[in-house]
Amino acid sequence: MKKLLLCLSLFSAFSASAQEVENATSNRKNDIMLSPIELITVPLLNISYERLLNDKSGIGINGIFYLGNNSNNNDNYDNNNLTQISPYYRMYFGRKYAAGFFVEAFTPITTTNQSTYNFQYNQSGYSQSFYTYEKKTTIGAGIGFGGKWLVRSNILFEASAGVARRFGEGNYDQVTGKGMLGIGYRF
């Protein structure tokens, strides 16, 4: 009888401890992620923040910022090729709180600097070439999928990809995307 009481008390203590850990995890409702691979290789800052609504969904924002400088040799125009802000909504299908496989819908707001090479002929028949630069902002709609894994000390790993169609006029690509191969923290 004493062994049975000891086993029951140990089981209830472990159950309470596991429930406290699950409650502590569910009290942490904010995730921040950074993709270090793009930062090192491109250089591109790919960062996201997500507010967890419950154990199966969250809303967030992803930002992609090009940090390089593609200056034209003829002038010092800073041709930042890309800035993209993408608000998103995610649905999770994992067993842990807001983790596992997910699908998302996102809206990319993309700003690019477009350069156009122009020719102009004068009355003498000589041509003159020059670049014109124009900033373009588009909005789109897209879907994505991926996985998020929560490990010890609230460290997160995420692998995700998405594709979107941009709407607007211009001679730029109509398709854009976003992805994350990152590490983060839940707080």
Confidence of residue 73 (pLDDT cuts 50, 70, 90): very low
Q: Is the pLDDT of residue 75 over 60?
A: no
pLDDT of residue 145: 98
The conformation of residue 74, written as its DSSP 8-state character, comes to T
CA angle 84, 87, 92 (to 5 degrees): 125
Most confidently modeled of 25-34, 66-75, 146-155? 146-155
CB-CB contact of 186 with 31 (8 Å): yes
β-strand pairing of 83-92 with 109-121: antiparallel
- DSSP, collapsed to helix, strand or coil, labels residue 42 as coil
Specify the fold of 29-186: Porin (2.40.160)
Query: CA 176, CA 46: separation in Å to the nearest integer?
Result: 14
Domain ranges of the chain: 29-186
Which pLDDT tens digit goes with each residue over 133-164?
Answer: 788 889 999 999 999 999 988 999 999 999 99
